[in-house]
Structure 1
Amino acid sequence: MKTIYNIKALCVMALLGSVATAGAQEDKTKEKDLNREMTLEREYDPSVQDASKVNTLPVIKEPVVKKMPIDYATFTIPTEPEKEISLLPSGNIMTDIQYNKRRGYFNFGGGTYLNLNGDLGYHILSTDKDKLNIWFSHRSTNGKVKYIDTDFDKVKAKLNDNMGGLNFKHAFDKMSLDMGIKYGYSAFNYYGLPIATPISSATLDPDKFDRETNQVNQTIQAKIGIESKEDAPLGYMLDLGYTNFSHKYALSKDQDGPTEHTFDVKFDLNARFGGEQRIGLGGNVEYFNYSLPTLNGQEYLEFENHAEATLSPYYKVAGDNWNLKLGANVMFVTGDNSKFMASPNIAADVEVADKTQLYLVAGGKLYSNSMYDMSLINRYINPTMELLPSRNYLDGTVGIRSGVAPGFWFDVFGGYKITSNEVFFIPTFATKDGYFANVSLGIQAKAKQAFGGVNLKYSYQQLFDINLKGVYNHWSVDDIDNAYGKPEMEVTAGVTVRPISQVTASLDYYLATGRKTYLGLSGGEKMKNINELNLTGSYTLNDTFGLYLKLNNVLFQKYELYYGYPLQSFSAMIGVNINF
């Protein structure tokens, strides 16, 4: 499973501040979308895709509060986040321009570390019946960063992400047709600090390893799908998809990399009866096929062609102030590591007071951990390593949420999660001179995670918004000493201020503590906390033009998302947005 950012007049506005990482409520009783992971549409949110913010933490899924990508002052993100085929708006980008009057958008920003952002999109067709979009995005950086706690010279950290696509949607009387294609090109270097051996945290001379050659990941995706109208007596959905994902190199520029072909079918068939009752069967079937490089006529990498499938029968009923879903997920994997498992698929909520809900969610999922999915989480992962699917037997949450006070909303929640073959990232110890430096290793273990937290939001008219979210995680893992890379505590806070209609100023803060990595010592070694404060200011000139300024990591903190890969310190970006 699996994610490029930054005027004197605007500096004052940027210091007023806000966060854009508000957790959107996710109605788990509406499962008709079947968690569409293979998506193609440009879901336009550049605030989490800046050149200075390209990495995201290995996210812990919260079933009720949707986890949003974290806004870091870094520069290396997992390959572009997945795009959804939900028709993109024109340009409401970094500014408050009213995009619904326009068909196209253009956004461009440049800043320190040679960070560049660019976006261009246009609605060729935009009617009630037909939508046809074309879009392109660019994120790049080419600046030097300093290793943490070493005397080595700065190293150049390079990234060049490009993605474009074409999407079409037609609404028939009783159904809709979606089609799309997408191409992604991502070039980056393995600039990580080499580690000597598993029994020593000593570092080697970085110049002996290849930190200059760019790895290239390419993605080609295509999809076609049909879906019935919402609330149709007989509901159906069928999506057919194909993904071609390839690494140019393996562990050095002298070794060709593997290619992964994924064929994907998602479906749902349901029927309404007895008023507000519905019974259905959903599913997802994926087949993974690999094209492997050869050496002296022999394949030297081991990837197994296999299929993964999930079938989900369910029953749903709605009352005046409550909703209930009862179901199960039956999952299996073929091949030498064939597995069969089942999990609950249950969701319930009831209004216990005015605008106050008590809710419960208990589910499970099969995570393929494919080459493509892993590249979205950590682009530096070892491209020659096949990971086993993660089997999530239970992902349960119970909580209470309320919007009873004007402008105020809160969610208090707790939960428990059990997963076999959970993926944790650690640095790879150095092997041969001339190889890529510090390629991330994905290790797998059975993990149990208990978590609890609170999410608070307050809005006052259109003048300001405030939010605060804190989550505490307790991990228990088998066979390894620690839940490497996973944060123990996360805090997200932010304020957005709109002193006048044309000006928006925001401040956002993120803290992640308790992360550890493996350097050959029992129990792991602590990593520096992520302690990130970002400021943003935007000014809307008119319904066509807007300007923005982003100041990232204004506390000048030094940290790594993955050990040995330092992220950018303070960075700034100024940009323009045009709707046409």
Structure 2
Amino acid sequence: MKNRGILFLLLSSFVVVNAQEKKSIDTVKTEIVTIITTYNPKIADASKIKRTPELTLSEKSKKRKLQYPIYSVPVASTFMPKTGTPKSVDLGKRDRIYKNYIAAGYGNYSTPFLEAALRSNNSRNKSGMGLTAKYISSNQDIQNTSLTSSYSNFNTSLFYKQQERDFDWKITLNSAQDKYNWYGIPEFLKQTAILSEIVPQQKYNFTQLIGDLNFKNSFIENGTANLSYFSDAYQSVEILGLVQTKFNFPLDFIDRQLNALPVNTQFEIFKGNFKKDYVGDSEVNYSIITTKIQPSYRFSYEDISFKTGFKIAASFDTENNVTNLLFYPDVEISAPIIVNFLTIYAGVTGDLNTNTYRGFTAENPYVSPTLFMTQTSEKQHFFLGSNTSLNTEFSFHFKASYKNEEDKPLFVRNNSKSNGNTLLTNGKALEGYEYGNSFHVVYDDVTTTRLLAEVEYQATPKITTSATVQYDSYQLTNENEAWNLPQLQASILGTYQSGNWYASSTLYFMGERKDGTYSGTFLSNRDGIHSIDSFIDINVNGGYRFNDHFSVFLKLNNILNSSYQQFSNFDVQGFQALGGLTYQFDF
């Protein structure tokens, strides 16, 4: 059976094959099949560059070396360490501060008082302007004076300022008008019949134009131009033109640790004349041109501060054909001995100072319009001092100095040209200042040794007191005395503020002074010395604030009602009281 099955399969396969051979042939041909798909590249597929290509760049495309310039702004190192620690301050209620105020008052001796300050700022164009004015007068004569002794002072100041991109500028116009009387006639003229014929009034007029420039990011820090005109009732005229500039030259290009070098320069033209001198009718003219340069350098080393510099001044007196070239030191050193408690300092300096007619009238309004004008050379000024702060309430300052001055001005009373019976001299009427009631200026070489002590004590946050004592010793070359200069001066100041109340008081002491006497009327020489007694003057100033706008004030002067003399034969007013009202506001 098994063999029959196998034989059957073989026969079947043979029959099938023979049957297929008899059909048409259907062949399968070889074809190329193209399959399109997304290509995903690999790093291994990339052909690597076998060499580095050489490229030629133009001059404009070449790599340049970068430079970073730093433009440093010159800053002067003017820091000076000072002993002491911050003091506690009782701020209390913070009051609103107003830019404008008007104060008016009235006092005995027929004394009206008016003061005002008006200011306006425009933040949009960064500008501002303002006006200040002050007037005070006394229209009642001083007791026991034979001539009119009234006075008046009127001062105004108008300014405009503007902030620019690279600098700020400001223009100021100042003016003043002062009236005084030469009322200090000698005793022998007080009971004479000529008093009614004397016209003692003097009037001073002052106008000043100032221009200020403050630069930003410049080696020129600031500059000031000043032109002033001064005159009086006797046709005296004085003109002063002054230009001052401060430079700050950077030195960091030498060494980055160096501070800037400040240099001050000054150019001055000074000219004036008096219609006559005191001796006769000769006109007095003066004309001086002065230039100055003052470099100085400040630096510190281990808490010790140094200032080293000098001043060079060239002066040309064109009226007298005199030229001077002067050199002055300008050196100072400061060192803390005990940090925050004791600091000592020392130095030497000097300067050339221009004496002006206006400056003399501010110090002594009773000078005659017949002065000789020259400059004062402060040849050497040595000083040594210390600042001490024991605690937050108590501080002390002491200073000793030695000063050598050439042509220092001194006030001396003029001799009278009248003997009490005459109003004429050489056929001409006497002027109001020719009755021994005015002063002239003498110049001498003077060395001054000075001791100065100052102390301040804050008893409470509301009460502060301070005291100053100054002693001067003079050595003169030609004159017998340091005319009208005291040897001893002292003052005590106290301030108080609590809530709406405020007050301050001053006690002032001036020692004995000397003035010259004459053997007869003009042209006699000085033959003696007159002593002007020392005096004490106490003044009190106080007030009360009702609110932020309104307050009242009261000023009391010469509370002791002392009858002392400001200058020889010039008595002062007795007890004085002046009260008024102040109003503060904004536009």
Taking structure 1 as the reference length, what is the TM-score of the superposition?
0.75
Contact 2:179/2:204 (<8 A) preserved: yes
- Greater RCO, 1 or 2 (C-alpha within 8 Å, sep 6+): 1
Give the drift of 1:537. 2.2
Correspondences of 1:204-223 after superposition (within 5 Å): 205=192, 207-208=194-195, 212-223=199-210
Superposition pairs of residues 74-473 of structure 1, within 5 angstroms: 101-125=97-121, 127=123, 129-146=126-143, 154-194=146-186, 205=192, 207-208=194-195, 212-229=199-216, 234-249=219-234, 257-273=235-251, 274-275=256-257, 277-290=259-272, 293=275, 300-319=282-301, 321-335=303-317, 336=320, 337-355=322-340, 356-432=342-418, 433=423, 434-437=430-433, 438-473=437-472
Q: For the residues of structure 2 that align with 1:245 and 1:174, how far apart are their CA atoms? A: 35
- Kindly indicate whether the alpha-carbon contact (under 8 Å) linking 1:194 and 1:429 is maintained by their aligned counterparts in 2: no
Shift of 1:425: 0.8
Q: For the Cα contact (< 8 Å) 2:331–2:347, is it kept in 1?
A: yes
Decide whether aligned partners of structure 1 residues 195 and 139 sit closer, same or farther in structure 2, where only a CA change above 3 A counts.
same
Are 2:77 and 2:259, in contact at CA under 8 Å, matched by a contact in 1?
no
CA contact (8 A) 2:77 2:299 kept: no
RMSD: 2.9
Q: 1:117 to 1:511 in 2, by over 3 A?
A: same
1:30, distance to aligned residue in structure 2 (A): 5.2
2:328 maps to a residue whose letter is: S
For 1:505, the equivalent position in structure 2 comes to: 503
> Would the aligned equivalents of 2:448 and 2:475 in 1 still touch at CA under 8 Å?
yes
What number of residue pairs does the alignment pair up?
468
Percent of aligned positions that are identical? 16
Cα-to-partner distance string for 1:441-480 (whole Å, 9 max, x where unaligned): 1111011100112100011443200111111111111100
User: Gaps spanning 5+ residues in structure 1: where?
Assistant: 1-27, 32-63, 65-95, 148-152, 197-201, 250-256
Contact 1:137 1:163 (C-alpha < 8 Å) held by counterparts? yes
Distance 1:325 1:346 in 2: 5
Distance 2:129 2:98 in 1: 14
Distance 1:503 1:416, change over 3 A: same
**The 10-residue stretch of structure 1 (269-278 or 553-562) with the greater mean CA deviation from structure 2:** 269-278
- Correspondence for 1:253: none
**1:507-555 superposed Cα distances (whole Å, 9 cap, x missing partner):** 2101111311111466722111131111222111111111111221111
State the alpha-carbon separation in 2 of the partners of residues 299 and 244 from structure 1: 24
Structure 2 Cα separation of the partners of residues 97 and 178 of structure 1: 35
> Alpha-carbon deviations, 1:274-318, whole Å to 9, x = none?
4462223212221123366599xx994121222122221222224
TM-score normalised to the size of structure 2? 0.74
CA pair 131-317 structure 1, distance change in 2 beyond 3 A: farther
> Which range is displaced more, 540-549 or 430-439?
430-439
Kindly name which structure, 1 or 2, has the bigger radius of gyration based on alpha carbons.
2
Aligned-partner residue type, residue 577 of structure 1: T
CA contact (8 A) 1:326 1:347 kept: yes
What residue number does 1:569 align with? Answer: 574
3-state SS of 1:576 partner: strand
In the alignment, structure 2 segments of 5+ residues that lack a partner are 1-75, 83-91, 424-429, 519-525
Report if aligned partners of 1:248, 1:258 keep a CA contact under 8 Å in 2: yes
Contact 1:471 1:490 in 2 (8 A): yes
SS of the aligned residue for 2:432 comes to coil
1:294 and 1:425 mapped to 2: Cα distance? 19
Report how far residue 110 of structure 1 moved: 1.3
Query: Structure 1 pair 156/248, CA: closer, same or farther in 2 (3 Å)?
Result: closer
Alignment partners' CA distance in 2, 1:110 and 1:195: 33
Query: Conserved in 1, the CA contact under 8 Å of 2:274 and 2:371?
Result: no
| AA matched with 2:354 | S
Cα separation, 2, equivalents of 1:179 and 1:508: 36
Q: Answer yes or no: is the 8 Å Cα contact 1:472–1:488 preserved in 2.
A: yes
AA in 2 matched with 1:115? T
